[in-house]
């Protein structure tokens, strides 16, 4: 996918803004995520923690679930901001699985604590050998 650098930076900044809405009283680790939709709009989400840590929801899944609930079934790029980390922190395994449900392997992914140190990759590089896509192709 060919997405302009300025548009990717805007997406990353939306993720930074979303991180400010994080509910993370236990980890104190705010995360924001932003999805670029096919029409150019941006849907964001933040991590939402719970005392029962297994019930916590990551920022990436919050954004994807918000997009899906609004009727979207694909997105064009993802940015994840972890502004209080010392190094780039990528999506967890559960998020990688969910993300690949809604976008192809070549979808751009950015993650990091600030724009100058952001890691640029793709869903396919984050989650190689995604054989579960074959299940959807049969339906």
Residue 7 phi, psi (nearest 5): -70, -40
Residue 41's alpha-carbon distances to 34, 35, 77, 86, 89, in angstroms, are 10, 8, 11, 30, 25
Report how far residue 7's alpha carbon sits from residue 82's, in angstroms, rounded to the nearest whole number.
Answer: 19
Catalytic residues: 60
* Order of strands, sheet of 77-81, starting from the edge strand that comes earlier in the sequence: 42-46, 32-36, 77-81, 108-112, 119-122
The strand ranges marked E within 6-129 are 32-36, 42-46, 77-81, 108-112, 119-122
């Amino acid at each position: 996918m060919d997405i302009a650098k300025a548009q990717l930076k805007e997406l990353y900044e939306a993720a930074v803004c979303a991180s400010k809405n994080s509910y993370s009283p236990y980890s104190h680790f705010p995360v924001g995520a932003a999805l670029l939709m096919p029409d150019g709009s941006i849907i964001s989400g933040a991590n939402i923690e719970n005392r029962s840590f297994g019930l916590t929801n990551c920022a990436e899944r919050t954004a994807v679930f918000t997009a899906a609930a609004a009727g979207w079934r694909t997105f064009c790029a993802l940015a994840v901001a972890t502004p209080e980390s010392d190094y780039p922190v990528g999506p967890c395994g559960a998020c990688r699985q969910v993300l690949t449900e809604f976008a192809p392997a070549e979808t751009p992914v950015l993650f990091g604590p600030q724009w100058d140190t952001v890691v640029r990759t793709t869903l396919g590089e984050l989650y190689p050998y995604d054989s579960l896509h074959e299940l959807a192709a049969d339906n």
